[in-house]
Amino acid sequence: MFVWDALHDLTLIILMICAVISIGVGLPTEGWPEGMYDGVGILVSIFLVVLVTAISDYRQSLQFRDLDKEKKKIFVQVTRDGYRQKISIYDLVVGDIVHLSIGDQVPADGVFISGYSLLIDESSLSGESEPVHISEEKPFFLSGTKVTDGSGKMLVTTVGMRTEWGKLMETLTEGGDDETPLQVKLNGVATIIGKIGLAFAVLTFVVLVVRFLVEKALRKEFTDWSSSDALTLLNYFAIAVTIIVVAVPEGLPLAVTLSLAFAMKKLMKEKALVRHLSACETMGSASCICTDKTGTLTTNHMVVHKIWICGKAEEIKGGESADVLKSEISGRVSSILLQAIFQNTSSEVVKDKDGKNTILGTPTESALLEFGLLLGGNFDAQRKENKIVKVEPFNSVKKKMSVLVALPDGRIRAFCKGASEIILSMCNKIVNYDGESIPLSEVQERNITDIINGFGSEALRTLCLAFKDVDDTSNENEIPTYGYTLIMVVGIKDPMRPGVKDAVQTCLAAGITVRMVTGDNINTAKAIAKECGILTEDGLAIEGPEFRSMSLEEMKEKIPQIQVMARSLPSDKHTLVTHLRKLHDQVVAVTGDGTNDAPALHEADIGLAMGIAGTEVAKENADVIIMDDNFATIVNVAKWGRAVYINIQKFVQFQLTVNVVALIVNFVSACISGSAPFTAVQLLWVNLIMDTLGALALATEPPNDALMKRPPVGRSVSFITKTMWRNIIGQSIYQLIVIGVISVYGKRLLRLSGSDASDIIDTFIFNTFVFCQVSFIVYSYC
């Protein structure tokens, strides 16, 4: 198929016709085998060009197919054979129970078993923008739709191409990547050069034909025409067509694709899945990275490190600390605390095949459940003893999760956990040592705020847990928003990733500003930002509400100084990205993991979704998926992006020089001597080497550390720089002088005489031309 596609090139078709005519005319006039040389030489050259192009295209298609498979790898949580496990969507079978939460893609058709506040976006199938509420009354899930809110379980009824999504996909063929901005730009360059080449080819052909006719008229042979004259004219035409072949730099788009495909393959090994080709080159121009904190700058392996309960702060260091804590709080407080931990969670404690406890869920909730188990709690017993009435799942806007629970004695109790300041503002009571709710005084509230800030300044992620007994049975399905009793302040430790500090320093040296945008407490964010080297002395750390209250003028003034934004909403991230791009003309890369991050990922020049913590919605809107959620991997993507840009510049510089020299030499020689020193076969050979091996050599050079010591390339910077023009013009003049001297004085300098002197000089000129390109490609490579 690729060979057939390559054979459809118009200039190659014309050359094939020329070759066949050349053989047809050459055999009767020059005999066997001399009459075959030119024609067969052209056909062999065309065969090699087609073969190399087809093999190159085929290998790239295989790479993209592998990348496409990686893109579609989605893992889901299912209950199968009596225990919960994580499997690929390709391994789903009818009868599996799938666990769904916010941001998940529904992996198959199925029916509702249980769940809370489940809203499904079915726009990809139905076109309806309004999400559908799934419940016992409307229980059907459709494959390919997305969970926008809530959580639940579904029974798989149909998988694969038998699903509604599969049937739709059967009628569609997936299109490839659109052309990248650089490919579009280079296609424009190729078109201009191609037109110049066409003009030179026509001029060369006209000059050669006119000279031939004039010489024939002067010899008074104008009326005498032979087959050798026809062969001469055919050769002139072949030379003109070959000039077009050499002049049209079809290797430019090939070099871009080759370079991007090479970079994509290497990045896959370095834990970065590039979903869109353009992201590779755009990342090389990134001048700003807006990154999350949790999981990207930190390890996302969370443990409860400090707590504050019943007026005492305790550091948790394993089982011994838990035993001390149990002795310092009453049984009633312990009971309420374990209820708050085990009832108000979207995670689960499950037993694996070996009967060991495994916690499945987000790192923050896993840390809390681990702490609950450390205190001697029993997850299954708590869940069987109490019945959950209603759930409001956590999302990045509310920054809290709430549940209503029916207790065994018939009472209704609400539990709430989330961002410490938000939960504290919802509380008017606090639990005492005996487990009783007592009024929360202003002094106590200030003390608790100091505790929260103290935890934050130690780079701990702070949460508050609270409860409220609901007395009003008429509103027993409404979760209260005020009047809670504070149980505990939790400080969760999430250590900084190794290598992050060095990666941030690399970014700063490369002229890339790093901004932390997080939903965490301002003190926690500042502590981590200072540790990473993001927050400097002259940098600004602000909170989301303060940012939202700014006027457009204030934002324009303050945004360049912002290095940390804490307690931010996804809309704040979107606003920041928009202003950085439009008001400050920056090329912005943004990380995101949640469903609500999708608008910011889409708005940014490069959207980077987290492969581990990221939802399917976030991944779908991203250009690159960071498989290990590591900031250092993002820096690698930037380094490869710069390498792609530089490599293609090198190839363009090389190809334009070859084109200029080949065009001018053939044109000038045709005008002066009436013949072209470069034959059709020789020019095709140069074209073959230049477009394939030249592209392979220059476009696949791996990045080096020096690339991250230069500033990023701006949006409006010309692709062909002044230095490149200097090299192209300088090399062209040098090569033209050398070839011109050999052409005019070659016979004298080499002391050649005899009938084959001209052939030897033409061969010598061609070899000189080739070696000039070899020296120039070495110069370009260095």
Which residues 6+ apart lie within 8 Å of 546 measured at CB?
A: none
Residues catalogued as catalytic: 292
The whole-angstrom separation of Cα 781 and Cα 693 is 13
Per the DSSP assignment, residues forming a β-bridge with 350 are: 358
- Residue 720 CA to residue 173 CA, distance in Å, equals 37
Closest CA to 135 of 152, 156, 155, 122: 152
DSSP string computed for 126-173: H---SPEEPSSSS-EE-TT-EEEEEEEEEEEEE-GGGSHHHHHHHT--
* CA distances for 619 relative to 64, 165, 507, 509, angstroms: 18, 19, 24, 29
Helix (H, G, I), strand (E, B) or coil at 565: strand
Q: Are 311 and 509 in contact, with CB atoms under 8 Å apart?
A: no
Spell out the residues 6+ positions from residue 650 whose beta carbon is closer than 8 angstroms to its own: 698, 701, 780, 781
Extract the tokens encoding 513.
Answer: 């500003």
> Nearest CA to 107 among 119, 91, 123, 118?
91
Strand extents, DSSP E, 355-399: 357-360, 387-392
Both tokens of 34, joined, read 């001399």
Write down the residue that tokens 């599969």 correspond to. 166
Please say whether the beta carbons of 116 and 390 come within 8 A. yes
Q: Cβ contacts of residue 324 below 8 Å, gap of 6+?
A: 314
Query: What Å distances lie between residue 66 and 262, 274, 275, CA to CA?
Result: 13, 12, 12
The encoded tokens of residue 196 equal 């110049």
CA–CA separation, 497 and 232 (whole Å): 72
User: In what helix (H) or strand (E) does residue 289 lie, and over which residues does it extend?
Assistant: strand 288-291
User: Strand 484-493 relative to strand 303-309: parallel, antiparallel, unpaired?
Assistant: antiparallel
Smallest CA-to-CA distance from 543 within 567, 513, 562, 577 is with: 567
Helix axes 500-509, 522-532, angle to 10 degrees: 70
The torsion defined by the Cα of 362, 365, 368 and 370, in degrees rounded to 10, comes to -40
Environment class of 770 (CB within 10 Å of its CB; exposed 0-12, middle 13-18, buried 19+): middle
* Cα distance between residue 252 and residue 658, in whole Å: 13
Separation between Cα atoms, residue 394 and residue 198, nearest integer Å: 64
DSSP state, residue 711: P
Map residue 551 onto helix, strand or coil: coil
Strand-pair category, 460-470 with 484-493: antiparallel
Distance, CA of 10 to CA of 14 (rounded, Å)? 6
CA distance 40 to 17: 12
